[in-house]
Amino acid sequence: MNKSMTPTEWFEKRIEEIKPIQKYAFISAFLMGIITHLPAFVNDMPNHDGLASVYFDQNMITSGRWFLTLACGISSYFTLPWLIGVLSLLWISITCVILVELFEIKSPLHAIIVSALFVTFPALASTYAYIYTADGYMFAMFLAVLAVYLTKKYPSRGFIFGGICLAFSMGTYQAYLSVTMLLALFILCGFYLTEATIKEKAIYTLKTVGMGAIGVALYYIILQILLMVEGVTLADYQGISGMTSLLGDPVSVIKHIYTDFVSFIIGGNVLSNNIFSIVALALLAILSIVAAFSFANYHSLFKKPLFYLIALIVIALVPIFANVILIISPDVNYHLLMRYQYVLIIIAFFAGLMKRSEDFSMGSKLDRAGQWIIIAIGLVLSLNYMVTDNIGYSNLQKRYEKTYAYCLRLADRIEQTPGYYTGMPVVMIGVVGDWNYPSTDLTADVTSNMIGFPGDTVCYKPEDYKSFFANYLGITIEVMNQEIIGDIYLNDERYYELDSFPGEHCTEVVDGVLYVKTENALKITGEKPQ
């Protein structure tokens, strides 16, 4: 009879079971994550959404994210950048371990490259710009990748548990459905290149599809139940309320998907944004094509019609799986938080090259040079992404500091206005006039497609000022609702005649309401209220 283990014995046994390659993947991902994203962890640099999320219960059921409140609850609902950052990095590091296992990486150096690419990719930096929800999103990423791993690792029932993981991943953040789909496609493609029988390949294909079907169905069932329990309906935000576009005009939707895919790859300013990253990706593509032809020729695949069919299917499906969110809504604001799956395309190219160099003898000088080039490409891309991320963090910090200075001066002017008292209704527009405050964001060429980073100010609407004043200045202002503000802005001559801040006459109490003029767009355009 086996004696029961002490906690120390149990822990030591678990550590011994971890393969060295997994340790390399985990440790390199965590350390590289700290080095790259430390500015987001040790500073409080809110963007416009973060201003009102100093405490946020993450109840996003109306956006379809029914598990987000629990996924983020581990770190509490307060914005605690260091705790959230470390916790999210733990999920990411485990995800990198799974990716190394899925792609069957054997070399420790190759595992480090894969982890570095995944953890430095700018989509993660954009997620940290919304750090109050980053740990929940990275938990969703972990579940999205785990779904594919369980399906592959456990042939009998793994697809069922994989489907459950996918459902909870979508219940946290639906965009990572593309991660599961794209990763499953790559792993399935790799399985088709093995010596497995046609029956085994067919069964694995069905189970992979079954995992996806179970995940989507379970997600939808739980969503409908919880909507009924809470007595709410889905919001129209980002097209989440219905998936009708594909049914209405499938040709237009598919065309949009392919166009967006090519546009983001070539001109998205994320995968490549300078000559170094462009050359690195070009070399990666060339080496991958050469390796693919070499592999196909070695295994006489060019003589098999099925090879061409599979190749065409994969090429056709990659853009669709990467952009599956556009099927839900072609007009969605398809920002970088939703595009994390694109790094899997790069990793898949690397994995193919790495596996070929690991599985085949590389005796010639040309082969050895190819291995060095692969590592160099990985290092160049990882370093480029790391620099890109920190350029974004630099501007995020400067945005906060400029906003703090601006709001401090504005608050002083408000409080010095004759007749003003705390709690008085306030009418103000959120735009900062750039004729008084010229643009000082020097990062736009780099961060233009990195949502959460570009711009000169954190405040864009009256509610932003209210949150910033309360949470960062300790000042209460009672901003009126948008409809009333818009009506006064367009129709009240007294508001029109005010100066733009910091002009001498930019605030005035009118009929018990404080008017604050932060910009003068109507005067600039010459459009005067009638």
pLDDT mean across residues, the chain: 89
- Residue 87: predicted pLDDT: 97
Residue with tokens 């480090």: 112
User: Mind listing the pLDDT tens digit for each residue in 438-474?
Assistant: 788 888 889 989 998 988 888 888 889 999 999 999 9
Report strand pairing: 513-516 vs 507-510.
antiparallel
- Residue 197: predicted pLDDT: 87
The tokens describing 414, both together, are 């408000």
- Residue 530: predicted pLDDT: 45
More confident residue, 291 or 120: 120
More confident residue, 236 or 61: 61
Cα–Cα distances (Å) from 294 to 187, 289, 368, 441, in that order, read: 20, 9, 16, 48
Residue with tokens 């189970």: 207
Mean pLDDT lowest among 97-101, 148-152, 164-168, 433-437: 433-437
Which long-range contacts link 409-416 to residues 24+ away (Cβ below 8 Å)? Answer: 409/502, 410/465, 410/501, 410/516, 410/518, 411/469, 411/473, 411/475, 411/477, 413/501, 413/502, 413/506, 413/507, 414/477, 414/507, 414/514, 414/516, 415/475
Q: How confident is the model at residue 309 (pLDDT cuts 50, 70, 90)?
A: confident
Mean pLDDT of 264-291: 93
The tokens describing 451, both together, are 């949502």
Which long-range contacts link 257-264 to residues 24+ away (Cβ below 8 Å)? Answer: 257/319, 257/320, 257/323, 257/326, 257/327, 258/319, 260/323, 260/326, 260/334, 261/318, 261/319, 261/322, 261/323, 262/319, 264/339, 264/342
Cα gap 317→313, rounded to integer Å: 6
Residues 6+ apart with CB under 8 A from 262: 319
Report strand pairing: 478-479 vs 425-428.
parallel
Cα gap 520→289, rounded to integer Å: 56
The tokens describing 80, both together, are 């605690």
For 443, phi then psi, to 5°, come to -100, 0
In terms of Cα–Cα distance, which of 413, 419, 403 is closest to 501?
413
- Residue 305: predicted pLDDT: 81
- Hey, is 442 helix, strand or coil? coil
Q: How confident is the model at residue 23 (pLDDT cuts 50, 70, 90)?
A: very high
In terms of Cα–Cα distance, which of 130, 446, 391, 402 is closest to 277?
446
**Side-chain half-sphere CA neighbours of 446 within 13 A:** 22
Mean pLDDT of 424-440: 79
- Residue 211: predicted pLDDT: 97
CB 130 within 8 A of CB 452: yes
Mean pLDDT of 116-135: 96
User: Mind listing the pLDDT tens digit for each residue in 329-349?
Assistant: 777 889 999 999 999 999 999
Mean pLDDT of 132-154: 96
- Hey, is 471 helix, strand or coil? helix
HEC sequence for 329-354: CCCCCCCHHHHCCHHHHHHHHHHHHH
Rg (CA), the chain: 26
User: Mind listing the pLDDT tens digit for each residue in 173-197?
Assistant: 999 999 999 999 999 998 888 888 8
Q: Where are the beta strands (DSSP E) in 403-501?
A: 425-428, 478-479
What share of the chain in percent tops pLDDT 90? 60
Q: What is the dihedral of CA 378, 380, 385, 391, to 10 degrees?
A: 170
Mean pLDDT lowest among 35-44, 227-236, 238-247, 495-504: 238-247
